[in-house]
Structure 1
């Protein structure tokens, strides 16, 4: 008896160790990865302020850029938006004082709302950070300053996976941010196949790493099948493959 074909799963993480780790994970789950990086990092050469009462980092990339620049948080309360950012801070030698229960901008606002009134809060992140974080902290009475550590752009040539989606040849897609959704659909639009891509993904299992990513995808016309309880890539990949496998056949 022939084995069923392996699931073909598109993944859009940046073209560094994250895409390599994603490919390795998907292969270990018995899937055929389609790596199609939708994000490239352009550093701004700015660093987080060193005179804040609270400093918030929202990504591993931001931590690495700050650490490489020799950033010193001093006596500030260091906050990470989630476990991956917290792990990166610890690896770089920083203490981590706050990690919210819900790994999101809203979760961090909820965690800090009762203690930041009158405090200087530095938010250091990409140019595509959610206004939920800055506006929520301002509403809580904080003096918020934002430093853009890097810009996220779509790499030249990205979009191979859109052609597969348009042909109905993708079994699943893993969206890890609103920007990956936007860049994926922009690549489809440039190729003149956006409608076919949306139709093709209706037949696939679409995963979004959290509610903001799901909202962006659904607003753009995509049907989202899986949103894991924990917003990390491994949980997303495992949940999507598990969801897709029972319906996948020759």
Structure 2
């Protein structure tokens, strides 16, 4: 392992990537920024007849503000503190943040309250089915509004080439889609199998169990799943795990 471990990060190319790069550098890693997600807005806003409106990302919070969403008396729910902070920054009150910052955590937090209620889920086109199915099982009338689409940026794949060459020490995957897009970029570069082999010798961190399951389905062995589903926890535990190997 290199004294300064090369660590890939796949956040969208905005302030999230900048903060991730700064954090990894502060942790003693050499960041390899390789955005695997780009946002295409639909300009949609949540339905106005819902009892609950659920947001699952900072991006969604920013986009509904840009689109002019004005809530009335809905209960506004955020999947975690980053989403909640983004909503508050845009001037929205947040009524509920689950203890576990995941789709299943949101279901657990709402399941006793939503029987017969109208629940609006406002998110990307790649949201987990766990949230919709869980709320429906709790008796809610669920509607999903797609606020944005997540696509793979052109030119992505530097980290896949490094992994294939055995020059990547760690990777921090922040969603199932970043795993899928990483492998798609590797295939586009003609190094998919070599990149998987390279990651087998690296430390692979993922932000939660759904991402871990996706990684496993694609033959990618996971070393780190932080208890707290935040990028800071993911980065800290991944870099620490590199040092332990």
TM range (shorter): over 0.9
Match of 1:9 among 7, 10, 21: 7
Tell me the equivalent position of 1:93: 91
The CA distance in 2 between the partners of 1:94 and 1:31, in whole Å, is 36
Which whole-Å CA distance do the structure 1 matches of 2:128 and 2:71 have between them?
23
Equivalent residues of 1:50, 1:71 under 8 A apart: no
1:56-94: CA deviation from partner (whole Å, max 9, x where unpaired): 000000000001122112100000011111111111111
Contiguous gaps of at least 5 residues in structure 1? none
Runs of 4+ aligned structure 1 residues displaced above 2 Å come to none
User: Take 2:96 and 2:71, find their aligned partners in 1: how far apart are those partners?
Assistant: 14
Deviations 1:90-119 (A, max 9, x none): 111111111111111111111111110111
TM-score, structure 1 as length reference = 0.96
The residue that corresponds to 1:159 in the other structure is 157
Match of 1:115 in 2: 113
Q: Distance in 1 between matches of 2:71 and 2:176?
A: 29
Q: Does 1:20 align with 2:13?
A: no
Q: Structure 1 CA distance, aligned partners of 2:137 and 2:131?
A: 10
- C-alpha contact (below 8 Å) 2:43/2:64 kept by paired residues: no
Of residues 109-118 and 176-185 in structure 1, the stretch that sits farther from structure 2 once superposed is: 109-118
Structure 1 contact 124–146 (Cα < 8 Å) conserved: yes
Per the alignment, residue 53 of structure 2 pairs with 55
Matches of 1:84 and 1:50, distance apart in 2: 24
Q: Considering only aligned residues, what root-mean-square deviation do their CA atoms show, in Å? A: 0.9
CA distance in 2, matches of 1:137, 1:29: 39
Cα distance, 1:50 vs structure 2:
1.8
CA contact (8 A) 2:176 2:210 kept: yes
Find the counterpart in structure 2 of residue 82 from structure 1: 80
| TM-score normalised by L of structure 2 | 0.98
**Which residue matches 1:191?**
189
Q: Which runs of 5+ in 2 are unaligned?
A: none
Residue equivalent to 2:204: 206
The 3-state SS of whatever aligns with 1:128 is: coil
1:70 is aligned, of 68, 93, 100, to: 68
CA distance in structure 2 between the partners assigned to 1:105 and 1:234 by the alignment: 19
Query: What is the distance in 2 between the residues matched to 1:106 and 1:235?
Result: 19
Match of 1:140 among 115, 138, 141: 138
**Hey, what's the Cα distance between the residues in 2 that align with 1:192 and 1:32?**
25
Could you tell me whether the CA contact under 8 Å between 1:106 and 1:132 is conserved in 2? Answer: yes
Q: Does the Cα contact within 8 Å between 1:208 and 1:224 map onto a contact in 2?
A: yes
Deviations 1:185-231 (A, max 9, x none): 01111222111111110110000001101111111111100010100
The offset of 1:5, in angstroms, is 2.9
Alignment partners' CA distance in 2, 1:191 and 1:10 = 17
Aligned pair 1:233/2:231, yes or no? yes
**Partners of 1:107 and 1:19 in 2: CA distance:** 26
Report SS of the residue matched to 1:103.
Answer: coil
- Assess if the C-alpha contact under 8 Å between 2:45 and 2:145 holds in 1: yes
